Structure 1
C-alpha cells in the first residue's frame, strides 16, 4: 500500500469497481498521487483528478516517472523562481534557503529544500523550526518532488501536514507565442515597469490585503513587468506579472487574474502573449508558472497554450 512519502510520485492504483457473475471487476488508474488520508487517496490522471476510497483499493504501488528532469535542472528553476519572488528576509542553511515575508504567500515564507543543507536531515529540519520560531512564524518547508522525497518522508514522521500540490509548469517562449492567436477584437495589453494602485487593488482581491513586504517582493526584481488590460470604459479587467531571472533567463509568470465579467474571452491568453513578447526582447527562451493542481480551470488554460508539468512541490506545515 502507498504511504505519505509517496505523495508527489507517479503511481498505479487497481480499484474494485463492482462484481459480475461472482467475479470481482477492477479498473486501473495511472497518475500522480496528490493526497493520501486515512480514508481516501487522490491521483491526478490525464483525464482529471480521481479520488478513491481506500476500501476500494485492491493494489497500489509507485511506478517510475514518465519523464524526470535532472536534479540540477529542478534546482536551477527553483532558484530562478526564488529570485523572481524575493522574500525580504533570507538566510542560508547550506543549499537550503530560509525565507520570511510577514506570512504573505507560502513561497516567500517557506524554507526552499533544494541542495545539501550542510548537516544531517533531521538537524536541518530542527534548524528550520528554530529559525522560523525566532521570526515569529509557523515553520514551512517547500519540498520539490521527487527531488525532496527524503525530506517529505522525514516530515511525515514528524507529523507535518501538506498544503495542496503545486505544479511547476514550463513552455518554450516561442511555442507559447505560436499557440496564442492574434486577436484584433480584444483590448490591448499594457505593460509597465511599476504596478500602480489599481493593479495592486485587483491583486488584493485575490491575495488579500497586501502588506509592505508584498510590494517589496513584487517590485524587488531588476527585470520585472506588470501587465494590465482595460475595457472600453477604462476599468481594469486583467492583470499579471512577469519577471526574468536566473542564468537561463527564465520568464516567471505570476498573478494572472481576469475579472469575472471578462473571462472566457481569450483575454488571459493575450496577457500571456504580451509577457512572452516582453521576455523575448530580453533574451528569455523558456517560461514557467506555478499553479495548484486542484485549480482545474487554470491548469486547462495553461495546457491550451503549451504549458506542461516540469515538476511539482509540496508546502509542508509544522504541527502547531
Structure 2
C-alpha cells in the first residue's frame, strides 16, 4: 500500500469495481498521488481528479514518472521562481534557502530544500526548525518533488503536515503570443507599479498585505502589473509578471478577475499581455505555480499550453 511519502509521486492503483460470479472485477488508474487520508486517496490523472476509497483498493504502488526533469532543471526553475517572489528576510543553510515574510504566503515563509544543506538531513531540519522559531514563525519547508523525496520522507517521520500539492507549470511563450486578442475586451494596461485597487483585489484573495508583501511584489528589478478596467474605470482583472533567472523566465502570478467579470476570457487576456511584455525583454518561456485542487485555474492554464514541470509540497512542523 501507499504511504504519505508517496504523495507527489506517480502511482498505479488497482481497484475493485464489482463482482462477476464469484470473481472480483478490477480496473487500474494511473496518475500523481495528491492526497492520502485514512479513508481515501486522490489521484491527478490525465482525465481529471479521481478519489478512491481505500476499501476499494486491491493493490497500489509507486511507478517511475512519465517525464522526470533533470535535478538541475528543477533547481534552476525553483531559484528563478524565488527571485520572482523575494522574501525580505533570508539566510542560507548550505544551498538551502531560509525565507521569512511576516507569514504572507507559504512560498515566502518556507525553507527551499534544493541542493546540499551542507550537513546531514536530520541536522538540516533541526536547523530549519531553530531558525524559524527564532523568527517567531512556524517552521515550513518547500519540498520540490520528486527531487526532495528524502526530505519529505524524513518530515513524515517527524510528524510534519502537508499543505495541498502545488503544480509548477511551464510553457514556451509562443502559444501565449499566438492567443488572439479579444476585440470585445478592454486593453491590458501594464504598469511599473500597482494601483490601490490592484492591491485591493489581490488582498481579497491573499488576505491583508503586510509591508513584507509589498516588498515581495515590488522587489524584483524586472516586473510589471497588469490592470484591465471597464469604461467606467472599474477594475476587472489583474496579474503580475516578472522576468528572472539566467534563462529569462517569465513568472506569472496573481491572475485574478472580479467576480462579476468572470467567464469572459479575462484571465487569458492578461496572461497574453504579460507574455508580450516578457518577449520584448528576451524571455522565451513562462512558469506559474497553482494548487492542483484549483481545477478552474489548472484548466485555464492547460488550454494556454502549460503543463506540469514538477510539483512541490509545503510542509509544516507540528505545533508546539
TM-score range, shorter chain: over 0.9
Gaps of 5+ in 1: none
TM-score normalized by structure 1? 0.99
Deviation at 1:297, TM superposition (A): 0.3
| Counterpart-to-counterpart distance in 2, 1:25 and 1:38 | 24
Alpha-carbon distance, 1:182 to partner: 2.1
Q: What is the correspondence of 1:71-86 to structure 2 with a 5 Å cutoff?
A: 71-86=71-86
1:150, distance to aligned residue in structure 2 (A): 0.2
Q: Distance in 2 between matches of 1:54 and 1:185?
A: 49
1:267 aligns with 2:266: yes
Q: For residue 100 of structure 2, what is the aligned residue in structure 1?
A: 100
2:177 partner SS: helix
Q: Distance in 2 between matches of 1:28 and 1:81?
A: 36
The aligned residue for residue 248 of structure 2 is 249
**Where do 4+ consecutive residues of structure 1 move more than 3 Å?**
none
Distance in 1, matches of 2:245 and 2:222, equals 11
Residue equivalent to 2:90: 90
Which residue does the alignment assign to 1:6? Answer: 6
Q: Secondary structure at the match of 2:38?
A: coil
Cα deviation, residue 38, structure 1? 1.8
- Shift of residue 266 of structure 1? 1.0
Distance in 1, Cα, partners of 2:305 & 2:28? 28
Which secondary structure state, in structure 2, belongs to the residue aligned with residue 151 of structure 1?
A: helix
- d(CA) in 1 for partners of 2:176 and 2:149? 31
Q: Distance in 1 between matches of 2:66 and 2:309?
A: 11
Distance 1:199 1:155 in 2: 38
Q: Aligned partners of 1:27, 1:94: CA distance in 2, in Å?
A: 46
What is the aligned residue count?
319
Task: State the 1:175 CA deviation.
Answer: 2.1
**RMSD over equivalenced CA pairs, Å:** 0.7
Describe the superposition over 1:175-209 as per-residue Cα deviations: whole angstroms up to 9, x where unpaired. Answer: 2212x122111110000000111110110111111
Q: Calculate the TM-score normalised by the size of structure 2.
A: 0.99
